[in-house]
Amino acid sequence: MAAAMQLNTLMSNMFATGLLDDQFQQLQMLQDPSAPDFVAEVVTLFCEDGERIIGELAKLLDKPAVDFDKVDAFVHQLKGSSASVGAQRVKNTCIQFREFCQGKSRDGCLKTLDAVRNDFYDLRSKFQTMLQLEQQVQASFYPKQ
Amino acid sequence: MENAAFASGAAMAVSPVQAYPGGTMRVLAVEEDPTCLTALTQMLQRHGYQVTAKASPEEGLRALQDNPEGFDLVMTIVRTQEPWIDGFVLLRHAAQLYPVILFSGVESAETKMRGMLGGACAFLTKPLRDEQVRDVWQHVIARRRLTSGVKAVAHAPSRDVVREDGTARKRGLNDSGEGGSDGRTVKKNKLRGTKAYRV
């Protein structure tokens, strides 16, 4: 049951440090026998989409003339998906990011992009660990014959 | 049988969604963000709704055009990446035929007002909570009542009778409809008789 204990510790830590909020618990409650991989599916989608958006943001902010409306639109998207999955820290950084977009501050946007990237990759790494531990816990309950 | 259960205040054995006449309620869910769309779909399905999920208002509009009888409710994101078609465009096309629920991140009061004046029956703020999504069936029932109520008013019998000589009298409890100098009466349309509708 080491995997289960590690999983509990990891989840407690993610909530306690503000990486996740109660919206993630809402998602966990939506998982049921008809959708046994629901949380894994949502987390995977979030990670893939988040990576794509961060890539787009980097490209937009690298241009000589920054289209702040487009940047803002992508940040809005990332903020929405992070809020839906309970990724509180990423969401809050996106809120700051939008302020710099609306202020048309390239430096502010670049600085906040770094912060979003760090928060996102930190969360993604922990999500990956969470999914691995869940698989181990499942395997120990339902070993293959 | 379900009406008797409602009248007696008895607890429902099935959810309102499952008890919906004609089968389960069918929702068209439109959201660009795949994470949010997956979460919304799962929330709805867990509560017994039949969900058609579309990743853009454009696809949602096409779904409505291809199958206009196929939905009871539309739920759509407001803001999209596409500049030419967003949730408001879908609302404009859908609101006459279906109850439409808009949802978005934090929006200004003006945006919400625009949505409600445009015909939305609700404007929800993301992230959507399970209890909000569970109860969307109420908008379908409210819409049905409104629709059948409009038809009922249009065909309601008038309580006023007008004599041929133009004088009016109220219909009494045992009124046979006779009256006037020659015994003939003409029913007056109650709506036309009110100040608001007089031409």
Distance between CA B42 and CA A85 in Å, rounded? 13
pLDDT tier for residue B184 given thresholds of 50, 70 and 90: very low
Residue type for position B4: A
User: Is the Cβ pair A45, B38 closer than 8 Å?
Assistant: yes
Q: What is the pLDDT of residues A42-81, one digit of tens each?
A: 999 999 999 999 999 999 999 999 999 999 999 999 999 9
pLDDT digits (tens, 9 = 90+) for B67-113: 999 999 999 999 887 777 899 999 999 999 999 999 998 788 999 99
Average pLDDT over residues B161-183: 49
**Which regions in chain A score pLDDT beneath 70?**
142-145
Contact by Cβ (8 Å): B99, B73:
yes
Is a pLDDT exceeding 50 seen at residue B180? no
Residue B70 near residue B52 (C-beta atoms within 8 A): yes
What is the model's pLDDT at position B18? 72
| A6/B169: higher pLDDT | A6
Would you say residue B182 has pLDDT above 60? no
Closest-CA residue of chain A to B40:
A84
Q: The complex's ipTM? A: 0.87
Give yes or no for residue B36 having a pLDDT over 80. Answer: yes
Nearest alpha carbon to residue A66 among A18, A10, A107 = A107
Can you give the length of chain A in residues? 145
Q: How confident is the model at residue B183 (pLDDT cuts 50, 70, 90)?
A: very low
Across B17-51, b (16+ Cβ under 10 Å) vs e yields bebbeeebbbbbbbbbbbbbbbbbbbbbbbbbbeb
Substitution target in A84, A88, A91 with the highest count of B β-carbons within 10 Å is: A84
Q: What pTM did the predictor assign?
A: 0.77
| Confidence at residue B13, expressed as pLDDT on a 0 to 100 scale | 58
Distance CA B104, CA B184 (A): 61
pLDDT of residue A145: 57
Task: Indicate whether B172 pLDDT > 90.
Answer: no
pLDDT band at B181 (very low <50, low <70, confident <90, very high): very low
How far apart are the two ends of chain A, measured CA to CA in Å?
19
A 17-76 residues inside an 8 A Cβ radius of B: 23, 26-27, 29-30, 32, 34-35, 38, 41-42, 45-46, 49, 73, 76
pLDDT of residue B120: 96
**Inter-chain touch A80–B45, beta carbons under 8 Å:** no
Residue B118 has pLDDT above 70, yes or no: yes
Per the prediction, chain B carries an average pLDDT of: 77
- Residue B19: the pLDDT is 72
